[in-house]
Chains A and B, each alone.
Chain A
Amino acid sequence: MVELTLNFAQILVNSVITGSVFLLASLGLSLTYGLLKFPNVAHAEFFTFGAYMAITFGEFWKLGFALGAVGGFFASGLLGLAAYVTIFRPLTRRGASLIHMTVASVGLGLALRFSIQQVWGRQIILFKEEFGKFDIGPVRLTDLWVTIIIAAIVLGIGFHLLLSRTKLGKAIRATADNPVLAMASGINTEKILVIVWFLGSGLAGVGGVFKGADARIAPIMGFEVIITAFAVVILGGIGSFYGTVVASYILGFAENLGVVALFYLDLTIEYRTAVSFIILVAVILLKPEGLAQIQLRAIKRNSTA
């Protein structure tokens, strides 16, 4: 047995940070999956692109980290929007099947990844920004981690308010539920799709900025996170905002606590990605519709009771 001194408070904080990045990375994926009914593999590259644009704005052009991050959001948002308008929308209108759309997104993803590699190079890049570091009791925090957590909270509350309190949110929910019916009820579904693609891709870009600042920037960084993002989307239930929030943090905790379990089992922590996949496989086998449906059923049960 290995003798371990575990700092559970720190593990908790690490889990929240990991979960927050997962949330940013997967929300757009889940929403576009829900709206257009196909998994956009190129979403990984929106994540990467945000990070590269942020370091370009923030450090190469010396605008600072905050402006860089905002730039990353808009750059990825516009890239996602462009991908929708020039590729996925025409394909949908021509009645492309799920396979066509998926293959198109794989192709777009590869094209983007290698273009990024061409422009910024294969070499990894580190943010030179030095974030303040401080200890609260046994927990180490940095300004960046606090920013990541706050950004995720703001996103969570903001999106909740958007969906529940605004007309736009209602329209988004309606379009996701049944686009034909939504259109028939006078909702401009096209406008909804454009907004969702922009926001979803932009958020992925911000996720990339945070991940890049926390670790490093490389052309492959989006690919590294996309499988976990899919796990989040499926666990949360495709197209479900609340499901995505819960699933992001479940996987964030699973990864970090999984590492602890692996210590005790004296296994290499390389297995920790497997933790996400085991959860994913279990969900597909047991609850293929994800957390959202569990929640829905519970609500239905309550309302019928």
Chain B
Amino acid sequence: MNRKILGISTNAAAGLAVVLLIVGAAVGYYVGLSAAPAPPPPPPMLPDVIKIGVMQPFSGPLGSLGPEITRGAKLAAYLVNQTGGIGGRMIQLVIEDSPADAAKAVDAAKKLVEVDGVKVIIGPATSREVLAIAKYVNDRQVVLISDSATSPRISTDFPDDYVFRSVGSDAGQAAAVAALLELKGYTRAVVVVVADDYGLGIGNKLKQIAPTRVAGLIAFDSGKGDYRAELQQVQALNPDVIFYAGFVQDLNVMFKQALALGLEKIPTIGAEGLKTTDFFNAAQYGREVGDYMFKSGMIGIGTHIATDTLAYKHFAEQHKKVFGVDPGLFADTTFDATMLAIGAIARAGVYEGPAVRKALIDVSQTYAGPSGPKNLDINGDPPQDYDVWAVVQKQDTYDIAIIGFWSAGGGIKLNP
């Protein structure tokens, strides 16, 4: 039977229907494809000049460090701008003095946010400043990446928020010290720390991690210049080891007095801040400071800096080329903080706090710079490895030698 519908044969009609169906489905698919997963992304809304705030100490007790730290940020901005910025938009650093003082840090942060309108701040250097402005930047949704503030309180007091850092938390350092106490079998450690967010941060964390190995915690005031009473208390606690966390400007006085009191018979462990040959500057402090460290057999924990990586070599080379000097303290972490910020802004496509914050966590997962991998965790902290160091004799003075390594996963390993 050859039935015809509208003059077209049934077979032809069926074929046409199949073709129409296929074409319709294909068209529908493509139309659906472009419409279904939300509207197309907005075109980049970045301002012509992207202002990033930098807060570092240019005056006050750490005033000498500001310039060398800031060179890291300047280098990052320079390298990005040299290759056209973010899609033609240039990075401009707005640098403010933040002299390791909480009140002045708040002023500097407010100026950067209210006057300059920055959405990202690199710095400030110390934990007390970061803690002082953390609430403000959270309220104003401004991303903060500190390059050198290591207090565990930054993570615990402000966990899931706008506060990040490109340097590891001292929670890791405390864990490394605890591992060292265990390895050496110490059970009566006296913890002597500078009475600020840094010192108390690491001291209290150590007490919390290794409660059975810590006999007491003594916090000393920075800048006081006479620590006999503190040392008297150390002696009274009858320690089998003393753990010091502080900086050379106070500890040189304390170590000189410790030697006078005969404390060199008790072994010592030093935190990150003690891993410096500044203590052995006999022309400035005399020999007794170094004598105490050596005679007490001081070993310690310090941030592991892999200067043999390609990223570091490239960074150091560029730094030397641009500024004519080798990178100083925290220049690498400041460089990484700035690079992460720029990467996050580029990925966000808008210069707004919430978008940059979200993008920062994403970008950081695959970022590794001169100061190492920066995959930020939920608290905004990157992973951190530590070296184990010791004070050794070197001709007629002393030096710091690396004798081991600690990582969160691998624990402590001393070199054979």
**Chain A interfacial positions (CB closer than 8 Å to B):** 2-7, 10-11, 14, 124-131, 133, 135, 140, 142, 144-145, 211, 214-216, 218, 220-221, 224, 255-256, 259-260, 263, 268-270, 272
Contact = CB atoms under 8 A, between A and B. Distances in A.
A129 to B, nearest CB: 7
Given A126-B256, A215-B228, A216-B253, 19 more contacts: A3-B238, A5-B235, A14-B232, A128-B287, A130-B287, A131-B260, A211-B226, A214-B228, A214-B257, A214-B260, A215-B227, A215-B253, A215-B256, A216-B226, A221-B225, A224-B226, A256-B232, A259-B233, A263-B233
B65 interface: no
Contact of A214 (B195, B226, B252, B259): B226
Listed from nearest, the 10 A-B pairs whose CB atoms lie closest are: A128-B286, A215-B226, A5-B238, A4-B236, A216-B253, A259-B229, A140-B262, A126-B285, A216-B225, A215-B225
Contacts of B236: 4-7, 260, 263
Contacts of A145: 260
Contacts of B233: 259, 263, 269
B289 interface: yes
A128 B260 CA distance: 13
Contacts of A211: 226
B306 interface: no
Contacts of B195: 268, 270
B321 interface: no
Contacts of A127: 286
A116 B29 CA distance: 83
Interface in B209-240: 215-216, 218-219, 221, 223-230, 232-233, 235-238
A257 B262 CA distance: 20
B365 interface: no
Contacts of B252: 124, 126, 216
Contacts of B284: 125-126
B260 to A, nearest CB: 5
B103 interface: no
Contacts of A14: 228, 232
16 contacts: A4-B238, A10-B232, A124-B249, A125-B284, A126-B253, A126-B284, A126-B285, A135-B262, A214-B260, A215-B226, A216-B256, A224-B225, A259-B233, A263-B236, A269-B230, A270-B195
Contacts of B262: 133, 135, 140
B189 to A, nearest CB: 14
Contacts, number: 95
Contact of A133 (B221, B238, B249, B260): B260
Contact of B260 (A124, A140, A259, A269): A140
B261 interface: yes
B286 A224 contact: no
Contacts of B215: 3
A257 B371 CA distance: 48
A11 B256 CA distance: 19
B282 interface: yes
A147 to B, nearest CB: 13
A268 B203 CA distance: 14
B78 to A, nearest CB: 32
Nearest to B257: A215
Contacts of B226: 211, 214-216, 224
Contacts of A272: 229
A235 B240 CA distance: 41
Nearest to B291: A130
B246 to A, nearest CB: 14
Query: Could you say which of B218, B229, B237, B289 has the most chain A C-beta atoms within 10 Å of its C-beta?
Result: B229
Nearest to A4: B236
Contacts of A124: 225, 249, 252-253
A11 B286 contact: no
A259 B233 CA distance: 8
B288 interface: yes
A130 B232 contact: no
Contacts of B238: 3-5
Nearest to A131: B260
B216 A11 contact: no
Contacts of A126: 252-253, 256, 284-286, 289
A218 to B, nearest CB: 6
A269 B218 contact: yes
Interface in B254-308: 256-257, 259-262, 282, 284-289
B222 to A, nearest CB: 11
Nearest to B283: A128
A208 to B, nearest CB: 12
Contacts of A128: 282, 285-287
Query: Could you say which of A127, A144, A255, A269 has the most chain B C-beta atoms within 10 Å of its C-beta?
Result: A269
Nearest to A134: B262
A218 B232 CA distance: 23
Interface in B171-230: 195, 215-216, 218-219, 221, 223-230
Nearest to A11: B232
Contacts of B229: 255-256, 259, 269, 272
Contact of B225 (A140, A218, A259): A218
B237 A142 contact: no
A140 B287 CA distance: 20
Contacts of A2: 216, 237
Contacts of A224: 224-226
A263 B218 CA distance: 10
Contacts of A255: 229
B294 to A, nearest CB: 14
Contacts of B237: 2-5
Interface in B347-367: none
B293 to A, nearest CB: 14
Query: Could you say which of B235, B236, B249, B257 has the most chain A C-beta atoms within 10 Å of its C-beta?
Result: B236
Contacts of B286: 126-130
A270 B228 CA distance: 12
B199 to A, nearest CB: 13
A268 B217 CA distance: 10
B336 to A, nearest CB: 31
A209 to B, nearest CB: 15
Contacts of B224: 224
A199 to B, nearest CB: 26
B192 to A, nearest CB: 12
